[in-house]
Amino acid sequence: DTEVTQTPKHLVMGMTNKKSLKCEQHMGHRAMYWYKQKAKKPPELMFVYSYEKLSINESVPSRFSPECPNSSLLNLHLHALQPEDSALYLCASSQGIYDTQYFGPGTRLTVL
């Protein structure tokens, strides 16, 4: 089973809202990732967690705040976003940080 699940599937939020995206995997993977994907572009890495610790932050604005409560869960907290943050947010996981990454279906975020 190589399933990564993400909720919600779609999210519409205003610029003053606070919302969270959730990602879950039960494959025993110890590395988890957040990516942002704009239309007709490849995914762009945002954050990497390895063994529940943040190991890479690709200079992402502080209005995006990741959290890894345990080895199966990854959250992305959103606050004071801008319309240009509208995108597909993808979660991925891998056995370790040097292993194959498996992506979830994504959350389509629209910021009004």
Partner 1 sequence: GENVEQHPSTLSVQEGDSAVIKCTYSDSASNYFPWYKQELGKGPQLIIDIRSNVGEKKDQRIAVTLNKTAKHFSLHITETQPEDSAVYFCAATSKAAGNKLTFGGGTRVLVKP
Cα separations (Å) of 77 from 1, 28, 49, 111? Answer: 27, 23, 15, 14
> Rg (Cα) of the chain, in Å, rounded?
13
Nearer to partner 1, 4 or 78 (CB): 4
The minimum distance between CB 9 and partner 1, in angstroms, equals 9
Residues contributing to the site for partner 1 (CB under 8 A): 2, 4, 6, 31, 40-43, 45, 48, 55-56, 88, 90, 94, 97-106, 108
The minimum distance between CB 33 and partner 1, in angstroms, equals 9
Cα separations (Å) of 18 from 21, 61, 80? Answer: 11, 15, 7
Nearer to partner 1, 59 or 98 (CB): 98
Distance CA 11, CA 76 (A): 13
The minimum distance between CB 88 and partner 1, in angstroms, equals 8
